Amino acid sequence: MTENKWESYVRKVVPYTPGEQPKNNNVVKLNTNENPYPPCPSVRELLDKFDVSQMRLYPAPDSEILVNAIAERYGLKSSQIFVGVGSDDVISMAFMTFFGSDKPVLFPDITYSFYDVWADVYRIPYKTCPLNQDFTINPDDYKTENGGIIFPNPNAPTGVLESVEMIEDIVKSNPDSVVIIDEAYIDFAGDGTSCLPLIQKYNNLLVVQTYSKSRSMAGMRIGFAMGNEKLIKYMNDVKFSVNSYTMNTVTQLCGAESMKNEKYFTETVNKIIKTRERSKLRLAELGFRFTDSKSNFIFASPSKKSAQYIFSELKKRGIFVRYWDKFVICDYLRISIGTDNEMDRLFNALEEILNG
Amino acid sequence: MTENKWESYVRKVVPYTPGEQPKNNNVVKLNTNENPYPPCPSVRELLDKFDVSQMRLYPAPDSEILVNAIAERYGLKSSQIFVGVGSDDVISMAFMTFFGSDKPVLFPDITYSFYDVWADVYRIPYKTCPLNQDFTINPDDYKTENGGIIFPNPNAPTGVLESVEMIEDIVKSNPDSVVIIDEAYIDFAGDGTSCLPLIQKYNNLLVVQTYSKSRSMAGMRIGFAMGNEKLIKYMNDVKFSVNSYTMNTVTQLCGAESMKNEKYFTETVNKIIKTRERSKLRLAELGFRFTDSKSNFIFASPSKKSAQYIFSELKKRGIFVRYWDKFVICDYLRISIGTDNEMDRLFNALEEILNG
């Protein structure tokens, strides 16, 4: 095809490839770290009561109801909360807002695969820091000159949790950079693992969480950032320069409703943690090596057959896990934690594949 | 407050101020060009049938159901449609994708107030072209060297419609730039006014429309762009580099559902057009001058009292219209077309204010 002149001005990027969303409902979907349980039951009641004629009006641009519900749950002021269309929207907005230096932004070499994509699309220089052999972070790597720091905790796709003390050390060592901790999976890591309390002490720390995992609402697209009021105001200024109305009315209401039901949330999270720990035992029996995941997935390396082979054999049997054909992590499968029944289907299939 | 070093790397912007969203339901809200009628009734049935447990899953990243419904309605291929979180998301993404030249992007001096905000936030050079005295566009202004062109048709906040022939002339004269026509209000302009058919002939033309006005769904956030497959692919590549899952599941389903009900859509649009034409007669009687608006608002200048005075007097009476304290347009009010009852409340209030 001939190239038109206007194409020379086009922002050319290698787009991120999301995990497959198979349309067949019969599959066991353990490939995108979704929650196997539905959102809290009162969300259905909320939809029943929702006055559809409200759809004709623009949503509240400040997402007040949603922001207030999050603030109340975490004991923060509403001015310390930023909401977006999933944590991808929140973090991408944070890249645009905070990473305007010409020094490189630092993140691990094995991590959430969107960070380098955002850096590329916004033309932000970056440098990746190699993880240790056991997939832990070396804090010294983050004490060199930089234009910002980001990593998930627990890390993805490894599931490895770093301590609050180690994160505080990094935040404290970098008063001139914004440090973003992406806590997408923190609710599966147990009490006292979130570095949220540190935002009251350090004005350069932004903590990002999401409704997509522990809150069973990946389909509604809600992420949020928590930080000091100055950080949040800067993000809102940029956000309001791109799109005033990103959070639709139904999403705002469903998100606020589900944030109120702490009992359901805790029960669901605990069920997943229990299934995760049981799954670790079974995977060990099947000869897998894996990190001690504190998230809702296990990053596991098989011993008898290759990860790629097992990935495609599972797929033939209607079981989807995540596999990356990339150096180091190509020996691993990332397996999301489903229901006990789904995990049993997985283990039966693995037995068949490994002993077949 | 002392400035932290990290603040020197922050993208500083003057955010756009959206029209007020008063929380009191008793007001007459004619300030954000919302549709006074609810979305088509089957949207309620769709919500009733919706399986809430689906919320736990990520939405279809390609928004297939929604894209297909739009494609079918406009007789296009699905690969010619891009969807986003309102037309603000769509156009902002188009700025990022297509306006990477160092030549200025051109748009009218009086127009939708987000264009210069996007140019600023993405650091894109731009030049505004003065409208003629009667608020029409001078096509010759758009035949100089440029890095892209954008304007709404009908224009906002003037309501003035330009002909398809004039737009074709501009598109044809600029084979090296992408030309974006923002048709947010085109459904109120009557048959044969959209330049959509031109996308089959010119690969540098992108036509943007929205669910927020004629389709009564501002609260759900759906905008879409139509163009040749190459333009759409470039936009999708950038979009998938920012956020794979922008369109949530409920929005996708509601948007597809409402696109199918052509009869309800036509009836609603025709009611608004009828009210608009009646409103023009009443405004003329009240001494207002205005353009022959082809949109769902009237841009009107009072003769007896100042626009600013009338704006604040209306507000005291619970009637919200839009006013900008900016050169040239500070003599005008932008009045959205509401129901006949709402317009009667407006006219009664205007009589009282003007004769008081």
Residue B185 is part of a domain; what is its CATH number? 3.40.640.10
Where does the pLDDT of residue A15 fall: very low under 50, low under 70, confident under 90, or very high at 90 and above? confident
Give the separation between CA A106 and CA A115, rounded to whole angstroms: 10
What CATH number does the domain containing B298 carry? 3.90.1150.10
Q: Is residue A3 part of a domain?
A: no
pLDDT digits (tens, 9 = 90+) for A103-142: 999 999 999 989 999 999 999 999 999 999 999 999 999 9
* Same domain, yes or no: B229 and B321: no
Residue B14 CA from chain centroid, whole number: 21
Chain A to chain B, count of Cβ pairs less than 8 Å apart?
A: 280
Which residues of chain A have a CB within 8 Å of the CB of B38?
52-53, 55-56
* Same domain, yes or no: A218 and A201: yes
Q: Is residue A9 part of a domain?
A: no
User: Last residue of some domain: A207, A228, A260?
Assistant: A260
Phi (first) and psi of residue A174, to 5 degrees: -130, 60
**A55/B37 CB distance under 8 A:** no
Interface pTM, i.e. ipTM: 0.96
And the tokens for A102?
């010409």
Which residues of chain B have a CB within 8 Å of the CB of A47?
47, 50, 52
* Same domain, yes or no: B289 and B193: no
User: Which residue in A10, A47, A243 is closest to B52 by CB distance?
Assistant: A47
Give the separation between CA A338 and CA A216, rounded to whole angstroms: 12
**Residue B308 belongs to what domain range?**
19-39+263-355
* Same domain, yes or no: A34 and A47: no
Say which DSSP state B322 is in: B
**A13/B237 CB distance under 8 A:** yes
* Same domain, yes or no: A98 and A47: yes
* Same domain, yes or no: B103 and B117: yes
Which residues of chain B have a CB within 8 Å of the CB of A52?
38-39, 43-44, 47
Q: Is residue B316 part of a domain?
A: yes
pLDDT recorded at residue A13: 87
- Closest of B18, B178, B127 to residue A243, by C-alpha: B18
pLDDT recorded at residue A14: 81
Residue A32 CA from chain centroid, whole number: 10
- Which of the residues in chain B have pLDDT under 70? 1
Burial of A285 (0-12, 13-18, 19+ CB in 10 A): exposed
pLDDT digits (tens, 9 = 90+) for A138-192: 999 999 999 999 999 999 999 999 999 999 999 999 999 999 999 999 999 999 9
Residue position matching structure tokens 């009338």: B310
* Same domain, yes or no: A221 and A309: no
* Same domain, yes or no: B134 and B170: yes
User: Which residue in B43, B204, B219 is closest to A6 by CB distance?
Assistant: B204
Residue position matching structure tokens 């929650």: A35
Predicted confidence (pLDDT) at residue A25 exceeds the cutoff of 90: no
pLDDT recorded at residue B289: 97
User: Which residue in A97, A204, A218 is closest to B11 by CB distance?
Assistant: A97
User: Last residue of some domain: A260, A285, A300?
Assistant: A260
* Same domain, yes or no: B254 and B321: no
Where does the pLDDT of residue A276 fall: very low under 50, low under 70, confident under 90, or very high at 90 and above? very high
Long-range contacts of B20-25 (CB under 8 A, 24+ apart): B20/B320, B21/A57, B21/A58, B21/A60, B21/A61, B22/B320, B24/B318
* Same domain, yes or no: A115 and A193: yes
* Same domain, yes or no: B158 and B216: yes
Q: Is residue A117 part of a domain?
A: yes
Q: Considering the entire predicted model, what is its pTM?
A: 0.96
* Same domain, yes or no: B130 and B60: yes
Which helix (DSSP H) or strand (DSSP E) does residue A151 occupy? strand A148-152
Say which DSSP state A300 is in: E
pLDDT recorded at residue B1: 54
- By C-alpha distance, the chain A residue nearest B232 is A10
Long-range contacts of A346-352 (CB under 8 A, 24+ apart): A346/A28, A346/A30, A346/A314, A346/A319, A346/A321, A347/A279, A347/A282, A347/A286, A349/A313, A349/A314, A349/A317, A349/A319, A350/A286, A350/A310, A350/A314, A351/A286, A352/A317
Which residues of chain A have a CB within 8 Å of the CB of B248?
85, 219-221, 248, 251
In chain B, alpha helices (H):
42-49, 64-74, 86-98, 115-121, 164-173, 229-242, 249-260, 262-285, 307-316, 340-355
Mean pLDDT throughout A267-282? Answer: 98
Q: How many domains does chain A have?
A: 2
